[in-house]
Chain A
Amino acid sequence: MAIFSLWVINKAGGLVYQRNFADGLAQLTSNEYLVLAGTLHGIHAITSRLSPAGSSSGAQVIEGETFKMTILLTATGTKFVLLTSLAEATADSVLQRVYEAYADAVMKNPFHTPEMPIRSEGFDTRITSLIGTGQP
Protein backbone atom coordinates (compact mmCIF):
# COMPACT_ATOMS: atom_id res chain seq x y z
CA MET A 1 0.00 0.00 0.00
CA ALA A 2 2.75 2.39 -0.85
CA ILE A 3 3.59 4.81 -3.61
CA PHE A 4 7.20 4.30 -4.64
CA SER A 5 7.87 6.91 -7.25
CA LEU A 6 6.53 9.31 -9.85
CA TRP A 7 7.91 9.93 -13.34
CA VAL A 8 6.80 12.52 -15.88
CA ILE A 9 7.85 11.83 -19.47
CA ASN A 10 7.50 14.43 -22.21
CA LYS A 11 6.12 13.71 -25.67
CA ALA A 12 9.55 12.96 -27.13
CA GLY A 13 10.28 10.30 -24.53
CA GLY A 14 12.61 12.29 -22.29
CA LEU A 15 12.25 12.18 -18.54
CA VAL A 16 11.34 15.62 -17.19
CA TYR A 17 10.52 14.79 -13.57
CA GLN A 18 11.43 11.92 -11.31
CA ARG A 19 10.84 11.63 -7.61
CA ASN A 20 11.01 8.78 -5.09
CA PHE A 21 8.74 8.49 -2.08
CA ALA A 22 8.57 5.37 0.07
CA ASP A 23 11.59 3.05 -0.05
CA GLY A 24 11.11 -0.17 -1.85
CA LEU A 25 12.86 0.66 -5.08
CA ALA A 26 16.56 0.33 -5.82
CA GLN A 27 18.63 3.50 -5.94
CA LEU A 28 19.52 4.33 -9.52
CA THR A 29 21.62 7.08 -11.02
CA SER A 30 19.86 9.83 -12.94
CA ASN A 31 21.28 8.45 -16.17
CA GLU A 32 19.66 5.09 -15.51
CA TYR A 33 16.33 6.81 -14.89
CA LEU A 34 16.65 8.58 -18.24
CA VAL A 35 17.33 5.29 -20.00
CA LEU A 36 14.40 3.58 -18.30
CA ALA A 37 12.04 6.40 -19.16
CA GLY A 38 13.06 6.31 -22.80
CA THR A 39 12.60 2.55 -22.88
CA LEU A 40 9.15 2.85 -21.33
CA HIS A 41 8.22 5.49 -23.88
CA GLY A 42 9.19 3.12 -26.70
CA ILE A 43 7.37 0.16 -25.17
CA HIS A 44 4.27 2.27 -24.64
CA ALA A 45 4.28 3.24 -28.29
CA ILE A 46 4.59 -0.40 -29.35
CA THR A 47 1.74 -1.51 -27.08
CA SER A 48 -0.61 0.89 -28.79
CA ARG A 49 -0.20 -1.21 -31.93
CA LEU A 50 -0.53 -4.56 -30.18
CA SER A 51 -4.15 -4.24 -29.11
CA PRO A 52 -6.19 -7.22 -30.31
CA ALA A 53 -9.44 -5.25 -30.17
CA GLY A 54 -9.22 -2.23 -32.41
CA SER A 55 -7.36 1.00 -31.76
CA SER A 56 -5.78 1.58 -28.39
CA SER A 57 -3.85 4.35 -26.75
CA GLY A 58 -1.27 2.09 -25.17
CA ALA A 59 -0.67 0.21 -21.94
CA GLN A 60 -2.22 1.70 -18.83
CA VAL A 61 -1.07 -0.67 -16.11
CA ILE A 62 2.02 -2.85 -16.15
CA GLU A 63 2.23 -5.25 -13.22
CA GLY A 64 5.28 -7.00 -11.93
CA GLU A 65 5.71 -9.33 -9.00
CA THR A 66 6.36 -6.68 -6.39
CA PHE A 67 5.19 -3.44 -7.94
CA LYS A 68 2.87 -2.02 -10.55
CA MET A 69 3.26 0.86 -12.95
CA THR A 70 0.23 2.99 -13.80
CA ILE A 71 0.56 5.19 -16.88
CA LEU A 72 -1.63 8.17 -17.64
CA LEU A 73 -1.27 9.34 -21.24
CA THR A 74 -2.55 12.88 -21.69
CA ALA A 75 -3.98 14.38 -24.85
CA THR A 76 -0.73 16.29 -25.37
CA GLY A 77 1.48 13.20 -25.31
CA THR A 78 2.86 13.69 -21.82
CA LYS A 79 3.00 10.51 -19.75
CA PHE A 80 2.59 10.42 -15.99
CA VAL A 81 3.92 7.16 -14.56
CA LEU A 82 3.29 6.13 -10.96
CA LEU A 83 5.17 3.17 -9.50
CA THR A 84 3.27 1.69 -6.57
CA SER A 85 2.99 -1.50 -4.61
CA LEU A 86 0.57 -4.09 -5.92
CA ALA A 87 -2.08 -3.37 -3.32
CA GLU A 88 -2.35 0.35 -4.00
CA ALA A 89 -5.81 1.07 -5.41
CA THR A 90 -5.66 4.85 -5.67
CA ALA A 91 -3.06 5.15 -8.44
CA ASP A 92 -5.49 6.46 -11.05
CA SER A 93 -6.91 9.21 -8.88
CA VAL A 94 -3.44 10.19 -7.68
CA LEU A 95 -2.30 10.49 -11.29
CA GLN A 96 -5.29 12.68 -12.11
CA ARG A 97 -4.39 15.01 -9.28
CA VAL A 98 -0.73 15.01 -10.32
CA TYR A 99 -1.89 16.06 -13.78
CA GLU A 100 -3.87 18.91 -12.23
CA ALA A 101 -0.86 19.98 -10.18
CA TYR A 102 1.26 19.83 -13.36
CA ALA A 103 -1.21 22.04 -15.22
CA ASP A 104 -1.30 24.51 -12.34
CA ALA A 105 2.28 24.70 -11.20
CA VAL A 106 4.31 23.86 -14.29
CA MET A 107 2.32 24.87 -17.35
CA LYS A 108 1.33 28.20 -15.89
CA ASN A 109 4.89 28.95 -14.81
CA PRO A 110 6.24 31.58 -17.21
CA PHE A 111 9.82 30.53 -16.52
CA HIS A 112 9.29 26.92 -17.47
CA THR A 113 10.36 25.81 -20.95
CA PRO A 114 7.97 23.19 -22.31
CA GLU A 115 9.31 19.66 -22.66
CA MET A 116 12.33 20.57 -20.49
CA PRO A 117 13.11 19.14 -17.03
CA ILE A 118 10.80 20.50 -14.36
CA ARG A 119 12.58 22.60 -11.75
CA SER A 120 9.70 24.15 -9.90
CA GLU A 121 9.42 24.45 -6.15
CA GLY A 122 5.68 25.00 -6.45
CA PHE A 123 5.24 21.69 -8.23
CA ASP A 124 7.39 19.93 -5.64
CA THR A 125 5.33 21.40 -2.84
CA ARG A 126 2.06 20.36 -4.47
CA ILE A 127 3.34 16.82 -5.00
CA THR A 128 4.50 16.63 -1.39
CA SER A 129 1.12 17.73 -0.12
CA LEU A 130 -0.51 15.22 -2.47
CA ILE A 131 1.59 12.13 -1.90
CA GLY A 132 3.61 12.90 1.21
CA THR A 133 5.84 9.97 1.88
CA GLY A 134 3.81 7.49 -0.07
CA GLN A 135 3.05 5.35 2.97
CA PRO A 136 -0.63 4.99 3.83
Chain B
Amino acid sequence: MQAASASALSALADPPARMVDGAAMDYLLIEAVNALRVSSAVASARAKKIEHDMVEAGLVPPPPPPPPAKQQNPRDSASSTSGKIPGPADEDEGVRSRLEAIGMHVGGNFAERLCRDRPLFSDSLDVIKFVCKDLWVSCWDKQVDNLRTNHRGVYVLQDNAFKPISRISSWEGRQEALKRAKLYVALPAGIIRGALSRIGFQGTVVPEITTLPQCTFQIKLPKNT
Protein backbone atom coordinates (compact mmCIF):
# COMPACT_ATOMS: atom_id res chain seq x y z
CA MET B 1 0.00 0.00 0.00
CA GLN B 2 2.79 2.36 0.96
CA ALA B 3 4.66 1.79 -2.29
CA ALA B 4 1.58 2.47 -4.41
CA SER B 5 0.75 5.75 -2.72
CA ALA B 6 4.38 6.90 -2.83
CA SER B 7 4.61 6.38 -6.58
CA ALA B 8 1.25 8.05 -7.11
CA LEU B 9 2.40 11.03 -5.05
CA SER B 10 5.64 11.32 -6.95
CA ALA B 11 3.71 11.26 -10.22
CA LEU B 12 1.59 14.15 -8.95
CA ALA B 13 4.53 16.11 -7.60
CA ASP B 14 6.70 15.74 -10.67
CA PRO B 15 4.44 15.03 -13.61
CA PRO B 16 6.08 13.64 -16.73
CA ALA B 17 6.44 16.29 -19.39
CA ARG B 18 3.93 15.81 -22.16
CA MET B 19 5.21 17.49 -25.25
CA VAL B 20 2.65 16.51 -27.79
CA ASP B 21 -1.05 17.13 -28.16
CA GLY B 22 -2.26 13.65 -29.03
CA ALA B 23 -5.17 14.60 -31.26
CA ALA B 24 -3.19 17.26 -33.12
CA MET B 25 -0.39 14.79 -33.74
CA ASP B 26 -2.84 12.25 -35.19
CA TYR B 27 -4.38 14.78 -37.55
CA LEU B 28 -0.98 16.12 -38.54
CA LEU B 29 0.30 12.64 -39.32
CA ILE B 30 -2.68 11.85 -41.51
CA GLU B 31 -2.40 15.05 -43.49
CA ALA B 32 1.40 14.98 -43.62
CA VAL B 33 1.55 11.50 -45.12
CA ASN B 34 -0.91 12.39 -47.85
CA ALA B 35 0.67 15.74 -48.64
CA LEU B 36 4.16 14.27 -48.74
CA ARG B 37 3.02 11.42 -50.93
CA VAL B 38 1.74 13.85 -53.54
CA SER B 39 4.77 16.08 -53.22
CA SER B 40 7.26 13.24 -53.55
CA ALA B 41 5.35 11.92 -56.55
CA VAL B 42 5.81 15.30 -58.18
CA ALA B 43 9.49 15.38 -57.26
CA SER B 44 10.18 11.91 -58.58
CA ALA B 45 8.22 12.65 -61.77
CA ARG B 46 10.39 15.73 -62.24
CA ALA B 47 13.56 13.72 -61.68
CA LYS B 48 12.44 11.08 -64.15
CA LYS B 49 11.66 13.73 -66.74
CA ILE B 50 15.10 15.27 -66.37
CA GLU B 51 16.69 11.86 -66.72
CA HIS B 52 14.57 11.18 -69.78
CA ASP B 53 15.59 14.50 -71.32
CA MET B 54 19.25 13.80 -70.67
CA VAL B 55 18.94 10.41 -72.30
CA GLU B 56 17.26 11.99 -75.30
CA ALA B 57 20.07 14.52 -75.60
CA GLY B 58 22.60 11.74 -75.48
CA LEU B 59 24.34 13.05 -72.36
CA VAL B 60 23.68 9.94 -70.36
CA PRO B 61 23.68 6.36 -71.66
CA PRO B 62 20.17 4.93 -71.68
CA PRO B 63 19.28 2.87 -68.64
CA PRO B 64 19.51 -0.93 -69.03
CA PRO B 65 16.30 -2.38 -70.46
CA PRO B 66 13.89 -3.72 -67.83
CA PRO B 67 14.39 -7.43 -67.04
CA PRO B 68 12.28 -9.93 -69.08
CA ALA B 69 8.72 -10.02 -67.90
CA LYS B 70 8.90 -12.65 -65.21
CA GLN B 71 6.18 -10.92 -63.28
CA GLN B 72 2.96 -12.81 -63.56
CA ASN B 73 1.22 -9.85 -62.10
CA PRO B 74 2.37 -6.30 -62.89
CA ARG B 75 1.16 -5.15 -59.48
CA ASP B 76 3.25 -7.70 -57.64
CA SER B 77 5.94 -5.55 -56.09
CA ALA B 78 6.79 -7.95 -53.28
CA SER B 79 9.54 -9.94 -55.01
CA SER B 80 12.82 -8.15 -55.56
CA THR B 81 14.53 -11.00 -57.38
CA SER B 82 14.57 -9.01 -60.59
CA GLY B 83 16.90 -6.44 -59.09
CA LYS B 84 15.01 -3.38 -60.39
CA ILE B 85 12.80 -1.83 -57.75
CA PRO B 86 9.30 -1.37 -59.17
CA GLY B 87 7.42 1.93 -59.06
CA PRO B 88 5.24 1.94 -55.95
CA ALA B 89 8.07 0.95 -53.60
CA ASP B 90 10.17 3.76 -55.09
CA GLU B 91 7.60 6.40 -54.34
CA ASP B 92 7.07 5.04 -50.86
CA GLU B 93 10.80 5.32 -50.31
CA GLY B 94 10.66 9.03 -51.14
CA VAL B 95 7.78 9.71 -48.74
CA ARG B 96 9.39 7.62 -46.06
CA SER B 97 12.72 9.42 -46.21
CA ARG B 98 11.00 12.80 -46.03
CA LEU B 99 8.90 11.71 -43.06
CA GLU B 100 11.98 10.37 -41.35
CA ALA B 101 13.85 13.62 -41.95
CA ILE B 102 10.99 15.59 -40.40
CA GLY B 103 10.96 13.17 -37.49
CA MET B 104 14.68 13.56 -36.95
CA HIS B 105 14.30 17.29 -36.66
CA VAL B 106 11.45 16.94 -34.18
CA GLY B 107 13.16 14.20 -32.20
CA GLY B 108 16.34 16.17 -31.77
CA ASN B 109 14.46 19.12 -30.31
CA PHE B 110 12.41 16.86 -28.04
CA ALA B 111 15.57 15.32 -26.68
CA GLU B 112 17.03 18.75 -25.95
CA ARG B 113 14.03 19.76 -23.90
CA LEU B 114 13.56 16.45 -22.10
CA CYS B 115 17.23 16.18 -21.13
CA ARG B 116 17.43 19.65 -19.66
CA ASP B 117 17.41 18.70 -15.99
CA ARG B 118 18.72 15.19 -16.32
CA PRO B 119 22.14 14.00 -15.19
CA LEU B 120 24.52 12.68 -17.85
CA PHE B 121 23.77 9.32 -19.43
CA SER B 122 25.97 6.52 -18.11
CA ASP B 123 25.90 4.21 -21.11
CA SER B 124 23.94 3.34 -24.23
CA LEU B 125 21.50 1.15 -22.31
CA ASP B 126 20.68 4.18 -20.18
CA VAL B 127 19.98 6.19 -23.32
CA ILE B 128 17.69 3.49 -24.67
CA LYS B 129 15.84 3.36 -21.37
CA PHE B 130 15.39 7.12 -21.55
CA VAL B 131 13.90 6.69 -25.03
CA CYS B 132 11.62 3.89 -23.82
CA LYS B 133 10.28 5.77 -20.86
CA ASP B 134 10.59 9.54 -21.12
CA LEU B 135 10.40 9.99 -24.87
CA TRP B 136 7.56 7.54 -25.30
CA VAL B 137 5.55 9.02 -22.42
CA SER B 138 5.98 12.55 -23.64
CA CYS B 139 5.04 11.73 -27.22
CA TRP B 140 2.56 8.87 -26.96
CA ASP B 141 1.42 8.80 -23.35
CA LYS B 142 2.57 5.32 -22.45
CA GLN B 143 5.80 3.40 -21.98
CA VAL B 144 7.30 0.80 -24.26
CA ASP B 145 5.97 -2.64 -23.38
CA ASN B 146 9.04 -4.73 -24.02
CA LEU B 147 12.74 -4.03 -24.45
CA ARG B 148 15.17 -6.67 -25.64
CA THR B 149 18.83 -6.38 -26.42
CA ASN B 150 21.67 -8.55 -27.54
CA HIS B 151 24.10 -6.40 -25.55
CA ARG B 152 26.04 -5.70 -28.73
CA GLY B 153 24.37 -2.54 -29.87
CA VAL B 154 21.06 -3.93 -31.15
CA TYR B 155 17.92 -3.09 -29.19
CA VAL B 156 14.36 -4.13 -29.96
CA LEU B 157 11.60 -1.94 -28.54
CA GLN B 158 8.14 -3.40 -28.68
CA ASP B 159 4.93 -1.48 -28.18
CA ASN B 160 1.79 -3.58 -28.06
CA ALA B 161 -0.57 -0.73 -28.85
CA PHE B 162 1.40 1.94 -30.68
CA LYS B 163 -0.63 5.12 -30.68
CA PRO B 164 -0.17 6.43 -34.23
CA ILE B 165 -1.30 3.14 -35.79
CA SER B 166 -3.87 2.11 -33.21
CA ARG B 167 -6.75 3.60 -35.19
CA ILE B 168 -5.79 2.56 -38.70
CA SER B 169 -8.20 0.27 -40.46
CA SER B 170 -9.02 -0.38 -44.07
CA TRP B 171 -12.22 -1.52 -45.72
CA GLU B 172 -10.12 -3.85 -47.83
CA GLY B 173 -9.13 -5.93 -44.83
CA ARG B 174 -6.33 -6.33 -42.35
CA GLN B 175 -3.50 -6.90 -44.83
CA GLU B 176 -4.29 -3.68 -46.67
CA ALA B 177 -4.44 -1.79 -43.40
CA LEU B 178 -1.06 -3.21 -42.44
CA LYS B 179 0.51 -2.15 -45.72
CA ARG B 180 -0.74 1.38 -45.40
CA ALA B 181 0.25 1.58 -41.76
CA LYS B 182 3.90 1.05 -42.66
CA LEU B 183 4.17 4.61 -43.84
CA TYR B 184 2.73 6.11 -40.70
CA VAL B 185 5.47 4.74 -38.50
CA ALA B 186 8.19 6.49 -40.48
CA LEU B 187 7.71 9.74 -38.58
CA PRO B 188 7.95 8.13 -35.13
CA ALA B 189 11.01 6.21 -36.26
CA GLY B 190 12.52 9.52 -37.28
CA ILE B 191 11.68 11.02 -33.88
CA ILE B 192 13.56 8.21 -32.13
CA ARG B 193 16.49 8.47 -34.50
CA GLY B 194 16.66 12.25 -34.10
CA ALA B 195 16.60 12.01 -30.33
CA LEU B 196 19.40 9.45 -30.38
CA SER B 197 21.52 11.46 -32.76
CA ARG B 198 21.11 14.64 -30.71
CA ILE B 199 22.25 12.73 -27.64
CA GLY B 200 25.25 11.58 -29.65
CA PHE B 201 24.49 8.09 -30.94
CA GLN B 202 24.25 7.92 -34.71
CA GLY B 203 22.26 4.77 -35.17
CA THR B 204 19.53 3.42 -37.38
CA VAL B 205 15.95 2.77 -36.42
CA VAL B 206 13.90 0.24 -38.38
CA PRO B 207 10.19 0.02 -37.61
CA GLU B 208 8.27 -3.20 -38.20
CA ILE B 209 4.59 -3.95 -37.96
CA THR B 210 3.43 -7.57 -37.79
CA THR B 211 -0.10 -7.30 -36.39
CA LEU B 212 -1.83 -4.00 -36.33
CA PRO B 213 -1.66 -2.23 -33.07
CA GLN B 214 1.67 -3.81 -32.25
CA CYS B 215 4.88 -2.24 -33.53
CA THR B 216 8.55 -3.03 -32.96
CA PHE B 217 11.51 -0.72 -33.50
CA GLN B 218 14.91 -2.20 -34.07
CA ILE B 219 17.63 0.23 -33.04
CA LYS B 220 21.22 -0.41 -34.12
CA LEU B 221 23.78 1.72 -32.33
CA PRO B 222 27.38 1.96 -33.52
CA LYS B 223 29.89 -0.43 -32.02
CA ASN B 224 32.22 1.91 -30.18
CA THR B 225 29.89 2.48 -27.21
Given contacts A121-B174, A133-B158, contact A128 B146 (CB under 8 A): no
Across the interface, B212 reaches (CB within 8 A) one of A128, A130, A131, A132, namely: A128
Q: Is the interface of A mostly helix, strand, loop or mixed?
A: helix
Q: Does A124 contact B (CB under 8 A)?
A: yes
Q: Does B214 contact A (CB under 8 A)?
A: yes
A129 to B163, CA, bound (A): 11
Q: Does B218 contact A (CB under 8 A)?
A: no
Contacting pair A132 B174 (CB below 8 A):
no
Q: Is the interface of B mostly helix, strand, loop or mixed?
A: loop
Q: Does A136 contact B (CB under 8 A)?
A: yes
Instruction: Classify chain B's interface size.
Output: 10 to 19
Min CB distance, A124 to chain B, in Å? 7
Residues on the A chain within 8 Å of B214, using CB: 128-129, 132-133
Instruction: Classify chain A's interface size.
Output: 10 to 19
Q: Does B153 contact A (CB under 8 A)?
A: no
Closest to A135 in B: B146
A82 to B212, CA, bound (A): 22
Other A-B pairs, 5, CB within 8 Å; known A128-B161, A129-B160? A125-B213, A128-B211, A129-B166, A130-B160, A133-B146
3 A-B pairs with the lowest CB-CB distances in the bound complex, closest first:
A129-B161, A132-B160, A129-B160
